[in-house]
Structures are given as structure tokens and as C-alpha cells.
Structure 1
Amino acid sequence: MNSTSLSLPRILTDELPLPKLIVFDLDYTLWPFWVDTHVSGPLKANATHSAVTDRHGESFAFYQDVPRILYTLPLAGIKIAVASRTSAPDLARDMLKLLHVPPPSAEEGGSGKKEKTKKALEYFDAPLEIYPSSKIKHFETIFKKTGIPFTDMLFFDDESRNRETESLGVTMQLVRDGVTWNQIEKGVGEWRKRRGYSG
């Protein structure tokens, strides 16, 4: 087993099926704040683009595991989308542009080759549905744009009311303190269980 596979969670490398699309909420899922109430534009990134400050000098960043999760999921062939009901969609998009995802270091299982840091926004290769609405509407739009069946979608969100998306066939994993690798493993495990796959 090479160092790259060692650095990936086993659930992404165990040869069992994976969801085609993972959808993330933003507030208290990818980052520990409400972008529409805690953040005041304009935003400015720090030198490494690992955090941004708003007009009041407050600093904002992703939860700790999020950059590596965004980097790794596409390597496993999983598309990534957003479903957020924030009332500050432009600010949310600015945050995703200004926060960057660095490639993993050699110690973290990276290739050691010189890879460029990319905007977090560039890792989302499926729709960004960011507007006030029921999450049902977000998912119906994501389905229309991607053609990916609801049953092939896994959704991470911090609000239990958004379990309503499961009526469409989506699997939802409730997160309490942001998305972590442990939450990803639990979510994929639950998605497999509902699809009848087991390891």
C-alpha cells in the first residue's frame, strides 16, 4: 500500500460503491459561522488564503478537516455541490473564492510534486445552490442540472429539519461541529447501508 492510499480514509479506497455526489451545507457544516449574520463584507484573505477577515477585522476559516476533504473527494471520483439557504449568497461565494485549499504535504500523503493551491470554489464541480429556500428546491435543481439520481447523493447539514430531503431519496448525515473525516465515513457508511452494500 502506498503512502497516498494510507492517507485516504479506508472508506474511500475499499472498492465498495461511493455516492456519485456529495452535497454540503455551508454554515456550521463547512465553516463555524453564519455567513449572513456573522460576516460583514468586503472580505480580505490572509497571505496563505487559509482565512479571511471582514470589515470589522474578524477572522473566518473552514473547519479543520474541510480543506483536505474538498481536495480528496474528487480523487475518489465524487462530485461536490452546495445546498445553502443563506440570505447572503454573494458573500458565501466570495468566501469560497478567497479561502484556498492547499495540496497535501508529503507527510500527509501528498505526491511531493509542486502543486498549486486552488480556490475552494474550484473543487465544487456540481451546482452551487445558494439562496433562501427549502432544501428540497435546492436538490431538485441539483438533480435537473446534473442528472444524478437522488439515491446517488449524500448530504451533510447541521440542521435536522433538512432531513426532509430524504423524502426525495437523498441520504443525509447530520453534523454537529462541522464536517470531519469521521462524519464522511459515517455518511458514506449510511449511504451504503441504505443502498444494500456492506463490507
Structure 2
Amino acid sequence: MTTRKLTKDLAMEEDDKVKNEALQIIGLHQNLPRLVVFDLDHTFWPFYCQCCYEGDEPYLYPQARGIFFALKDSGMNVAIASRSPTPDIAKTFLDKLGIRSMFVALEIFSSQTHKTDHFQRIQRSTGVPFTSMLFFDDEDRNIQAVSKMGVTSILVGDGVNLGVLRHGLSEFSQMSGTRNH
């Protein structure tokens, strides 16, 4: 067995472990978002696209892939909202990772609006109300702006991980409970 295959097998095993743990976390919540939206740079992957070339090999934060597949398996839709000035590179990376087609919306464009334009487009294309969305981003200014729209928004410090997912789903459940009463 080659070292590369062994490394790939270990990565898949770790992805499955994370996915199973994420499914357990998701199972603890009755109120779930209809749509989970991720930023890309320093949220889904640990780099800025604009510092890369299309020929580079992208990689995700260690727990991102398992979480992504757990969300999909739980029936939640997933979207991207990124202010990257290099959308072609971002989309190429999503293709290389084999996940681009799994997103219901890809809003990747440079903007000064702190993602409010991105969310307007996502809402129009999906029909999902802002209050049924959960958003993960590494920039506080985006979190503040999108929160004002009614989206449960979670600041990510070091990439998407199980702790961030747990926090996000708890916040969403709490916000949903408040809105329903």
C-alpha cells in the first residue's frame, strides 16, 4: 500500500468520525436551520484564495468535510457567501474538492456590503427566510451586518469545527425558540 493511499484512507476515516459526531450534535436539536451558509477563506479552508493559483491543491480545515456531509445527510441545504476577489479560483477549488455541485447557492464576489448583498441573492434564489439560516464567518463585521438581517451568525476563530457547529446549532435553536413564542 502506498503512503499516499494510506494517508487518504486515514483522512476518510477521520472524516467519517467527524461526520458521525456532527450527526450526534445535530440530533440533539429539534429546531434546525433550513440553510447553513459558510464563508470560504479562513472559515471553510485555512487560506485566502487570492493568494493562490488555480493549479494549487486546495484543502479544508480538518473537520470541515465531515461537518459538511453531516449537514447534507441531515437534510439541510448548504450555501457559500464569500467576498473573495478571485471567484474563479474559489470555484475551481470547490470543484477539485468534489463538492461544488452540493451547494444550493454559490455567491462569491467582491463587495463592500459585508455580505448583505450575498444574503439577499441567496434568499431570492433559495426562498429560505433569513430567520431559517445559520451563517459561519471569520470576520466580525460580516457577522454583525448579516445578524441584523435576522440570520443566526456565528464568528469562527480557527475554521469550522465540531465546537463551532455545536455553538451555532445551539444559538439557532435558542433564536428559533425566541421567535416562535
Following the alignment from structure 1 to structure 2, what is the Cα–Cα distance between the partners of residues 41 and 184?
A: 29
Structure 1 outlier segments of 4+, above 4 Å? none
The CA distance in 2 between the partners of 1:90 and 1:127, in whole Å, is 15
Q: Report the RMSD for the aligned CA atoms in angstroms.
A: 1.9
Number of aligned residue pairs: 158
Identity %: 38
**What amino acid sits opposite 1:29 in the alignment?**
T
Q: Deviation at 1:15?
A: 5.4
Question: What is the alpha-carbon distance in structure 1 between the residues aligned to residue 124 and residue 102 of structure 2?
Answer: 20
Q: Distance in 2 between matches of 1:170 and 1:41?
A: 32
Q: How far did residue 8 of structure 1 move?
A: 3.6
The equivalent position to 2:157 in structure 1, one of 171, 176, 179, is: 176
Q: Partner residue of 1:142? A: 122
The aligned residue for residue 127 of structure 1 is 105
For 1:169, what is the secondary structure of its paired residue?
coil
Q: What TM-score results when the alignment is normalised by the length of structure 2? A: 0.82
Q: Is the 8 A contact 2:29 2:170 kept in 1?
A: no
Gaps of 5+ in 1: 44-51, 53-59, 100-118
- Residue 28 of structure 1: which of 42, 48, 52 is its match? 42
Q: What letter is aligned with 2:54? A: G
Distance 1:8 1:19 in 2: 18
Aligned pairs (5 A) from 1:95-134: 95-99=93-97, 119-124=98-103, 126-133=104-111, 134=113
Within 5 Å, give how 1:50-129 maps onto structure 2.
52=57, 60-99=58-97, 119-124=98-103, 126-129=104-107
Q: Distance between the aligned counterparts of 2:69 and 2:166, measured in 1?
A: 16
Paired residue for 1:13?
27
Q: Alignment partner of 1:95: what SS?
A: helix
Structure 2: stretches of 5+ with no match in the other structure: 1-16
Do 1:129 and 1:142's aligned partners in 2 also have CA atoms closer than 8 Å? yes
2:53 to 13, 31, 40: 40
| Larger relative helix fraction | 2
SS of residue paired to 1:138: helix
8 A contact 2:39–2:82 mirrored in 1: yes
The separation in 2 between residues aligned to 1:94 and 1:120, in whole angstroms, is 10
The whole-number CA distance in structure 1 between the counterparts of 2:40 and 2:161 is 14
Instruction: Name the CA distance, whole Å, in 2 between partners of 1:70 and 1:88.
Output: 23
Deviations 1:97-145 (A, max 9, x none): 002xxxxxxxxxxxxxxxxxxx121321x11000011200000000000
